[in-house]
Structure 1
Amino acid sequence: MSSDQSDCGRRTAVRSRQGEPATERSQVYAVEDDGELRPKEPAEIDAECGCGRTHTRRTFMGATAAAAGALTLGSQVSGVAAEEPEGDTVTIVHDLHTHSEIGEPGEPNIARYWNVVQDQLADRDDAVFLANGDELGSSTISFFTEGAHKIDFMNDMELTAAGVGNHDFDYGVDVAEQRFADSEFPWLNSALYTPDGDLFPETERYTTLEIGDLTVGLFNVVLRNFHGITDYPEEYEQRDPVETAREMTQLLREEEDADVVVCSSHTPHETHFELAEEVDGLDAIFGSHSHYTMDAAEEHAGTVISEVGYAYFHLGVMTLDAEGNLVSWERIDLDEDVEPDSKFKARVEAQYEELEDELEETIGETAVELDTSGSITYGREARIGNLITDTMLDAHPDAEVAFQNGGGIRTNTTYGPGELTAGDVLSILPFGNEIVVFEATGAEIEQVLENRIDTLPDNAFGAQQGQQVAGLQYEWRGHEEPEVLDVFVDGEPLENDETYVVSTTDYLKDTADAYAPFRDADLIWESGTALGPALMEYVETNSPVEPELENRILRVDADLGPQLGVRREDDRTLLCFEAPEHAVAVADAETFVGVTADADTDVPAPETVELEDDRLWIGYDTGELQSFLGRSDAAELRLFGEFEPDDDGYGYTGTDGELLELPVAAVYDRFTLKATLDASSASLQPN
């Protein structure tokens, strides 16, 4: 089913983008190297779009308050209008991009959306309704229908055409081809071809529309690295968006005599500026891969760019004149007062009634709160991540380590303590990727760990490691270059030349770029079961589940090394360490965590932590410390705690030479230090 999908009982090779955190209104996302998305900070959006050039949001055509067209009750409009143009115009109403969602009754949904679309089409003789892709996967409903339910709705929505997107291949190329064939509107696809060089079946390379005396040419482009984020086979061809746009624009201008050329885009927001600069004659771009919501259309290098976010929160209405110039633009924001189309409303309710019994079935309980927010699943070890990866280990008796990417854990909400339903689990893991098991070397495992690290100062949300694991305990550092420090498997150091049995999803093994070291490994076992149903079975069998935080993932911003010395004061043992560079404060002792390679070891906590000039003193109760050393065969005890550096702490500066204000990460209050207690030191032994 999409990048992480599964098929309730039937096996489907389904891989696609695993990684988009649940979208919020007006949120902008950046695309990572592995195809996953992360939310951008406002400053990052306003200052630089990602193409290396600085842009600002601008309101064109005078920014008057008037907005062309009738409004539906309860909707709000932002936009611009110009003087009445001479000659013909074309109005593009856009653009769905729903990941196969239809919206729940009472929420923003397709029934309300369709009512507003109908108003816009009825009030304009020059209007066409266009989509930009991502309509077939992956939602809870599509888990059961593989997108067929969405085609049924779209066939009744007077769509002129729809571009293709990565989630339209969430259930594989065969399902995509069938869904395209079942559609009563054309799917535009200018960049995706079969191994034989033929256009992907049941799609059209472009289309032209006759609107008044205007000929309007439409085509579609998709993001780079399409293979890396969806179930699009390696042997199938994907063409570069800029090269494709240049070729299609020239064709439409010269061979089809198009007066206006428009691109239905499924590329990231920042790629639009590249398209505008590199493609002559391209009048307008609508949609995007990034779920970016504009406050006004943007005109760059002569090309109008219009993006109105995700699903049923906004509708874009863009009018162009015969020269391709922007005449007016509006973003209609739908709220709870928008009246739904009565027929669609009844169909939405019926669709949910069909699933209600299955989705509301209680499968078990969780004794602890499970938080699925992206800031946690990307930033640190999470209980939900441990539960999912423990399920992977449990799936095969020989599995030693397991991986789950943070973006494959969805919903951005919390569950429990309390009951878990089938709908809860399938919302958290909506994709149809199945669990697979294979062998990998320690070196390959370490490379995967490193590949997932986002570093400061480049990552706007701070250093993050982007995944959840089981069977592993590892340390990572995210400053300038990703670093993996100590790694242990079942309490033993990871050996580069050793072979380990890995359990993960077929999407991660076969498709996701960060996991490319696993790509060529021969499978030991294919489960035939998608991760979502596997987790349902695990919860049912082990209910109530109570995943613990076990120090599987340990952040290190400053490694202080082993103790410089030991001092005894009455019943206290004080260990001296080099202080973190530029440190101005350290956290309280009770927040420090002691860790050994064996997660089951009961480790004493320090009683005091004091920063004195360039030294850090960590104090233990002597009896407790010596008792631990006596019963443990650990060669060292690692301590992790938070500290705060001064403004010059890491010295990251912007292009203006000024120090950057950098976030630690959404789930950390301060940076993290590591101090190592050398258990073999004679000064720590009993007197």
Structure 2
Amino acid sequence: MTKLKLGLKRSRAFIGVLLILFMGVGIGRAEEVRLTFLHTNDMGEISGKSGFGGFPELSTLIQMERERSPNSLTTFGGDLISPSLMSGLSHGVEMIEMLNLLKVDVAVIGNHEFDFGPDVTRDRLKEAKFPWLASNVSVAAGVEALGNQEMMIQDMGGFKVGVFGLTTPDTVYLSSPGKAVAFEDIIPAAERMVAKLKAEGADIVIALTHMALSDDLRLAEEVDGIDVLLGGHDHKAFATKEKNTVILQAGSDLRYLGVVDLLVERKEKRGKPYLSIVPSWKLIATTSINPDADVGSVVASYQKELDAKLEIPVGPTEIDLDTRRTTVRTKSTDFGVLIAHAMKEEVDADIGFTNGGGIRGDREYAAGTVLTRKDILTELPFGNVTVKLEISGKALKDLVEHSVSKVEEGAGRFGQFSGLEYSYDVSKPSGSRVTSVQVAGKQIDPAATYTIATNDYVAGGGDGYAMLKASKVLIDKAAGELMASTVMNFIEKKGGVKPGFAN
């Protein structure tokens, strides 16, 4: 009898062990799932940069990655409808069509989405077949909504993925959003959105951002609960992990496709369930990729239309010209001075000034190159006009100080001048760097007044030039000439760009 009872006990124990094993292997344990995020950002041009592909090659890469990883989400990190050569004519209609063709799932609003004013922003957002996020952007009461969403939740492979968007608050002076559009600080906005997405059941939280990389890093450091941060704005090809957050930017102008893979699995430790997330990432260049023929035909049709309008010679350059981003934002260049001098002569001002961030061609022209309308409009795509202001010597000194206040960061505020010379010491703190400012060879008098030709964007306080907003306006935007036309007229009048053109 004792042996029989012992045998029954052992049998029951054995069956119990089998049941536990069965449940662990089968019903009770979730399998590892790969979730993939395909990211691009900052693509103002419909054509790619030299040495890289464009939209047709990017389309091929996206399709390849979607086949590799069916649980994928395609994201865009802002700055689409401007600035480019074509956007000056179209206000970015063709760029929305391109992202629609790529079947982008979600985008964040960038500062350049406001370059043509909030009404154009509304129109372009309506044309998109995907949602635009901007969780920290709102409009004043009684004003028509822009059309952006606060967040999005998507089911991916059995997991809820929550996405929110942040647009740099610097947009108020980097672009033209208008007074009715407000930008919340990024940290409280992110904290609010993470909490809201978690409350809605999100397993994984994605921040889609358009702001300085330093702000992306700060966000990852200060706000818990963000698993992946997909950014844009600084045109950097960059990927890292900060605390528990993967951060990726995919360069600019269609050069790379950024890919983040998350291996996700529900697990249990000491009786408590948790989510295991193992990330990996890569940046894939669009170079030597077979183009998507369908997308290529659409790009070609736009390019043909544009070329017919713009391949008109303006004049030859007898000197080398450099418009690379890293150059025009850090030093005085012949092309920058050309723009400033053309504006100075156009309105007969003491000084010509433009911000380096408004020069967008990002290329070099060898001496002997015949510049075309297309070249000039590529360099100056924003549709700004030449205005004339009266400014005090003190405000002029402040302007030059502001120009070099972030030169080591390559900020767009860096000034290109004609009729003004200055020296500065970058080792000194911002606001106290300028050691000398001369106009027409003489040190400026703080109490004197000077006339300055510039673009309407900085004249309105853009790029942080608040000191210009208080200036007396002599020629306003309504009476001014298109900045690109000012430069083209100068080149044609002088028979090209010649050595010593600013003398």
Q: Same fold (TM over 0.5)?
A: yes
Q: Distance in 2 between matches of 1:419 and 1:264?
A: 42
Secondary structure (helix, strand or coil) at the match of 1:459 reads helix
Q: Distance in 2 between matches of 1:155 and 1:460?
A: 34
- The answer to whether residue 299 in structure 2 is matched with residue 355 in structure 1 is no
Q: Distance in 2 between matches of 1:187 and 1:281?
A: 22
Partner in structure 2 of residue 643 of structure 1: none
| 285-294 or 355-364, larger mean C-alpha shift | 285-294
- The answer to whether residue 94 in structure 2 is matched with residue 149 in structure 1 is yes
Q: Which has the higher helix share?
A: 2
Partner in structure 1 of residue 421 of structure 2: 473
Q: Percent identity?
A: 26
Contact 1:365 1:545 in 2 (8 A): yes
- The answer to whether residue 293 in structure 2 is matched with residue 342 in structure 1 is yes
Partner in structure 1 of residue 386 of structure 2: 435
- The answer to whether residue 198 in structure 2 is matched with residue 253 in structure 1 is yes
Partner in structure 2 of residue 8 of structure 1: none
Partner in structure 2 of residue 604 of structure 1: none
Q: Distance in 1 between matches of 2:53 and 2:287?
A: 7
Contact 2:317 2:496 in 1 (8 A): yes
Contact 1:283 1:325 in 2 (8 A): no
Q: Distance in 1 between matches of 2:333 and 2:251?
A: 29
Q: Distance in 1 between matches of 2:229 and 2:494?
A: 51
Distance 1:507 1:85, change over 3 A: farther
Distance 1:97 1:382, change over 3 A: closer
- The answer to whether residue 62 in structure 2 is matched with residue 123 in structure 1 is no
Secondary structure (helix, strand or coil) at the match of 1:540 reads helix
- The answer to whether residue 115 in structure 2 is matched with residue 170 in structure 1 is yes
Distance 1:148 1:324, change over 3 A: farther
Q: Distance in 1 between matches of 2:61 and 2:489?
A: 42
Q: Distance in 2 between matches of 1:418 and 1:257?
A: 59
Distance 1:393 1:352, change over 3 A: same
> How far did 1:235 drift?
4.2
Q: Distance in 2 between matches of 1:380 and 1:201?
A: 38
1:440-460 CA-to-partner distances (Å, cap 9, x unmatched) read 1111011111222258xx938
Partner in structure 2 of residue 193 of structure 1: 138
Q: Distance in 1 between matches of 2:100 and 2:433?
A: 50
- The answer to whether residue 233 in structure 2 is matched with residue 284 in structure 1 is no
Matches within 5 A, 1:263-342: 263-294=207-238, 297-320=239-262, 321=264, 326-342=277-293
Contact 1:260 1:324 in 2 (8 A): no
1:10-65 CA-to-partner distances (Å, cap 9, x unmatched) read xxxxxxxxxxxxxxxxxxxxxxxxxxxxxxxxxxxxxxxxxxxxxxxxxxxxxxxx
> How far did 1:85 drift?
8.2
Distance 1:129 1:86, change over 3 A: same
1:200-233 CA-to-partner distances (Å, cap 9, x unmatched) read 5211111111224221111101224221211222
Distance 1:141 1:480, change over 3 A: same
> How far did 1:115 drift?
1.0
Distance 1:350 1:274, change over 3 A: same
Q: Distance in 2 between matches of 1:400 and 1:437?
A: 10
> How far did 1:171 drift?
1.5
Q: Distance in 2 between matches of 1:85 and 1:395?
A: 71
Contact 1:261 1:324 in 2 (8 A): no
Partner in structure 2 of residue 231 of structure 1: 176
How many residues of Structure 1 are paired with residues of Structure 2 in the alignment? 461
> How far did 1:547 drift?
5.0
Distance 1:387 1:273, change over 3 A: closer
1:146-171 CA-to-partner distances (Å, cap 9, x unmatched) read 11001111112221111111111121
Matches within 5 A, 1:57-136: 86-103=31-48, 107-136=52-81
Q: Distance in 1 between matches of 2:164 and 2:396?
A: 42
Letter in 2 for 1:314: Y
> How far did 1:345 drift?
1.1
Normalising by structure 2, we get a TM-score of 0.84
Q: Distance in 2 between matches of 1:486 and 1:95?
A: 43
Contact 2:56 2:293 in 1 (8 A): yes
1:522-550 CA-to-partner distances (Å, cap 9, x unmatched) read 42213443311221122122213325287
Partner in structure 2 of residue 452 of structure 1: 403
Q: Distance in 2 between matches of 1:249 and 1:370?
A: 48
Contact 1:383 1:549 in 2 (8 A): no
Q: Distance in 2 between matches of 1:544 and 1:483?
A: 36
Q: Distance in 2 between matches of 1:412 and 1:325?
A: 46
Secondary structure (helix, strand or coil) at the match of 1:307 reads strand
Letter in 2 for 1:350: S
Secondary structure (helix, strand or coil) at the match of 1:119 reads helix
Partner in structure 2 of residue 625 of structure 1: none
Q: Distance in 2 between matches of 1:106 and 1:484?
A: 39
Structure 1 spans left out of the alignment, 5+ residues: 1-83, 551-599, 601-687
Matches within 5 A, 1:42-61: none
Matches within 5 A, 1:360-509: 360-374=311-325, 376-397=327-348, 399-410=349-360, 411-454=362-405, 459=408, 466-481=414-429, 482-509=432-459
> How far did 1:194 drift?
1.1
Match for 1:540 among 489, 492, 501? 492
Contact 1:227 1:511 in 2 (8 A): no
The runs of at least 4 consecutive aligned structure 1 residues that moved more than 4 Å come to 104-107, 197-200, 322-326
Normalising by structure 1, we get a TM-score of 0.62
Across the aligned residues of Structure 1 and Structure 2, the Cα RMSD in angstroms comes to 2.8
Partner in structure 1 of residue 11 of structure 2: none
- The answer to whether residue 104 in structure 2 is matched with residue 159 in structure 1 is yes
Contact 1:308 1:331 in 2 (8 A): no
1:424-483 CA-to-partner distances (Å, cap 9, x unmatched) read 11222222221111211111011111222258xx9389xx99322122233434332444
Secondary structure (helix, strand or coil) at the match of 1:156 reads helix
Structure 2 spans left out of the alignment, 5+ residues: 1-28, 266-273
